[in-house]
Structure 1
């Protein structure tokens, strides 16, 4: 039976061209549907993310680095698990938390890692003022306490730190620094300024007799890769100036740039502070800046006063409990002055420094709030102390230098350290740097910080030494100020005094060694997960470079205490320095029983 006429077209063979057109159309529709499905899913995920999560991805702030928002005080990040959720304090998000009577202060704010905001306020504010009287107030009326962190050395401007509340993080809103006032003293509110980013900023400036040293973050980002100096300029002048001055950059290494002094005749006779300095890149972009230029003045040394032979410089964060032991010991063996680059301590460091100075020790604190700038800080110290010190020992507060040859000495002597320093007058290449190897000590069974000091509490170490520390002749350091934290590049010749050539000498471990109390009781060690100090060392909470020598072997990326922590890194029992220090600085307790009390416990 024949099919009905109306069905005949369906039974006829489909032409090849029509078949290909049908298949193409079908594939196109499928691809379109898949694209729509993908966009729908992506949009759903995007909308489900909180503002905080979005910014963590946009600005590479890992969840481990996001600090909880707090009400009363700045938290100790090491006390929080790295996977803890960021919680918002609702008490700081309502309008009632903003004081009715307030004084808005001129300030500029910088966004640091961990959602920390550094606020640079006016000069004249000191730590003696009531800290609770200062707040960071955001445009949406959210607030957080502002903690006083010192004064910038060049301008005496006040430094505060506060936390950025979660609801301010989507737009990265800049706060206003506010001081509470009585109703009768209420002042005019100020408009907020743009929030500077710490990843791209000129942050410090220091003048020498011949040039200007400028410290800039975000230009030379990779270790060993630097922009050519001839492509850069130093720019001097405030943002509202119609004319600015420029000078050529002569050196570009790491975060340190050197350039000539500007001619600031138009600024009048009293050019002391207030002249901004920054760096101009080849494309004409100028790096945002909080650095100020001051002309060089011979003020660090009293005319006619002899230079100190050996000083020590270190960068510290919450090291108050370790400081007295470290200063008293190293002062006894020959360190004449200590420079502490304070990286934002909030543990009463200034109180301890004051006590040491009243006892006759020479300790100077240099406010250095800048995150991950250890190399730059050490370069700053090399320039800052050059007029007052011949040699600088770069060593951390958990490191103690000693010589096994001192083991029979009844008392310390300031000649001990000097015996390791060669005399300047020598034939051939002059020794400009002495390096000393380090032994790394473990927890030694301790679960808490030893009250009598680290030299007494930790006496078991790893068998093999690791890394070194240095004592450097400041005049021998290369103009670039390039350093790898543990040592500096030296002048190759012609640039030093009398055109000297300088070299580095490594001291054998039989002559000197540094005891590095690196792996302490877990309550102390976990603080290292907060942030590494070096600009080129990855923070431990980031899952990058797990084989780095900076990391603790056997630990992951979270501050989780291993069950056998107290027994780790214990391969050699070494109590040489422990016994020596007890003999020099210990005394029997009044209670008897053979107990000792160290000089730094009094």
Structure 2
């Protein structure tokens, strides 16, 4: 009997030793790809309810004893953008795990195909890291598309498609949010799909929470284009759902029973996300940019010297060194701020965002593109530029020595009701240029079409309607405000629209406005948005270099040459060439 007991005890002891050793071995072999401490799986599943967290155990075929837990860092929210481009947005939970700046990541797809993943930028406010990669040709034939894994070493797909989330689609997604003192503004693709046809706010709800089933819902107060305004959620319910203050809360839109809850990569922030901390400027400029590094210095220096105090650039995913040019301008004391805005064809939404984001920092906002230069013909004889030139286009609202005059009082009252200055455009052609003029667009392009085209605007931000509705540089104004159109003698915009073919064809790939016809689609051939003589492919039309040349107009060329040119040891230069 004693021998039997000793044998049993010895067996149990050996079992405990072996079990402990094996457990220790596993604890050494199972780790996060980042080799940082991982939270418990139960905690992860409970916190994120497996809605926005994809947990997969992946076997590395190079070492069958090694198993890797892959969290959202490696299977992040991934969106299929136009032109088969995949944008990956890291979740807040693991955003810090990719603090390095190495660029040796790649996207691993469902058929084990992979493509390089390039760091794209930081989304504003929450500073979420993003990467871009191209969907391989071999994957494009498959259905459905599954979200790729972002990794450095994994060579094989996990092999469990049933647990893999499908690739998000750009045609239906909540891509950004902006909190104000009074409400939350969502930017959503695919709900209001046509210009002028907007869903009633009563059909919609805003949903706060990573678990959309039990999320906090609030009323939608405004629904126009891609912009939706929501009531702020009560903090109590959110705190009960998310007791940890550092937790990020997703926010999205619920569209009745037809579309359900829209997929989202946007997060809620309780504090207002406004541009503050600086003295309020009278005149700012806001635009959306893509690969304009070679043009930016000329545009900023010109408008700064004429009166723009602050520049806000919505970067649409540039990869031409734009950030280096911006840093150089900042070091030279130009006030230039960029927001990473990778969302394709969202110019109107970006302008709406800017109208709210900059409201506490700017009184008037000039909405013009980097290939557009504002001036008044009355300035062109001046020997020097003045920082009051552009401000002179704004309505007069200050007191005057003639304030007792009834005529002046009537004019002053009229000016107080002006909420937008409308300026007509003159469209310039290639002017026989075969490449970007080294002295700048104002010097290189001097031949234009006859007559004026679409207008651009300078907007009083406090006059912008709560809907934030705008159609390519023109805003809906609050009741009681009016638009003032300048004559061609008062002010015009030189729009260097049709540049040398090597520059113009880059526009063919990327149309930033959501409601402008895509040149690559064989539709609406008579649309005013289409370039005369240009087909549906980026093929240079015959005689392009001399097209759109009906009027020789060198007025701004001569003025900028006088204002910004100088003789150097290597010849005549413009100050933006340095």
Query: Is the 8 Å Cα contact of residues 441 and 517 (structure 1) preserved in structure 2?
Result: yes
Alignment partner of 1:316 is 2:303: no
Alignment partner of 1:410 is 2:386: no
User: Equivalent residue of 1:415, what SS?
Assistant: coil
TM (normalized to structure 2)? 0.80
Q: Work out which of the residue numbers 238, 263, 282 in structure 2 matches 1:288.
A: 263
TM (normalized to structure 1)? 0.77
1:177 Cα shift? Answer: 4.2
Q: Which residue matches 1:372?
A: 345
The CA deviation string for residues 213-237 of structure 1, in whole angstroms up to 9 with x for no partner, is 1111101101100011112111111
Q: Work out which of the residue numbers 449, 469, 476 in structure 2 matches 1:462.
A: 449
Query: Is the 8 Å Cα contact of residues 154 and 292 (structure 1) preserved in structure 2?
Result: no
Q: Work out which of the residue numbers 218, 226, 241 in structure 2 matches 1:255.
A: 226
Q: Which residue matches 2:206?
A: 234
The CA deviation string for residues 248-277 of structure 1, in whole angstroms up to 9 with x for no partner, is 111010010001100132444765662111
Alignment partner of 1:436 is 2:423: yes
Q: Which residue matches 1:518?
A: 497
> Which 4+ residue blocks in structure 1 deviate beyond 6 angstroms?
100-103, 125-128, 188-191
Q: Which residue matches 1:388?
A: 361
User: For 2:166 and 2:296, how far apart are their aligned partners in 1?
Assistant: 38
User: Equivalent residue of 1:150, what SS?
Assistant: strand
Q: Work out which of the residue numbers 272, 283, 291 in structure 2 matches 1:297.
A: 272
User: For 1:433 and 1:271, how far apart are their aligned partners in 2?
Assistant: 41
Change (3 A) 1:465 1:600: same
- Flag the structure with larger Rg: 1
Q: Work out which of the residue numbers 565, 571, 577 in structure 2 matches 1:586.
A: 565
User: For 2:345 and 2:181, how far apart are their aligned partners in 1?
Assistant: 28
Q: Work out which of the residue numbers 470, 489, 511 in structure 2 matches 1:483.
A: 470
Query: Is the 8 Å Cα contact of residues 77 and 88 (structure 2) preserved in structure 1?
Result: yes
1:181 Cα shift? Answer: 6.3
Change (3 A) 1:451 1:101: farther
User: For 1:554 and 1:370, how far apart are their aligned partners in 2?
Assistant: 29
Alignment partner of 1:199 is 2:171: yes
Residue segments in structure 2 that go unaligned for 5+ positions in a row: 1-60, 399-411
Alignment partner of 1:542 is 2:515: no
Query: Is the 8 Å Cα contact of residues 272 and 295 (structure 1) preserved in structure 2?
Result: no
User: Equivalent residue of 2:558, what SS?
Assistant: helix
User: Equivalent residue of 2:389, what SS?
Assistant: helix
Q: Which residue matches 1:15?
A: none
User: For 1:588 and 1:242, how far apart are their aligned partners in 2?
Assistant: 68
1:570 Cα shift? Answer: 0.6
1:173 Cα shift? Answer: 2.6
Q: Work out which of the residue numbers 319, 323, 327 in structure 2 matches 1:346.
A: 319
The CA deviation string for residues 496-528 of structure 1, in whole angstroms up to 9 with x for no partner, is xxxxx2110001111111000001000011112
Q: Work out which of the residue numbers 179, 195, 206 in structure 2 matches 1:223.
A: 195
Q: Work out which of the residue numbers 251, 262, 275 in structure 1 matches 2:249.
A: 275
Q: Work out which of the residue numbers 120, 127, 146 in structure 2 matches 1:174.
A: 146
Once structures 1 and 2 are overlaid, which stretch shifts more, 269-278 or 317-326?
Answer: 269-278
Residue segments in structure 1 that go unaligned for 5+ positions in a row: 1-94, 493-500
User: For 1:101 and 1:200, how far apart are their aligned partners in 2?
Assistant: 35
Q: Which residue matches 1:109?
A: 78
Q: Work out which of the residue numbers 548, 552, 555 in structure 2 matches 1:576.
A: 555
Q: Work out which of the residue numbers 147, 152, 170 in structure 1 matches 2:123.
A: 152
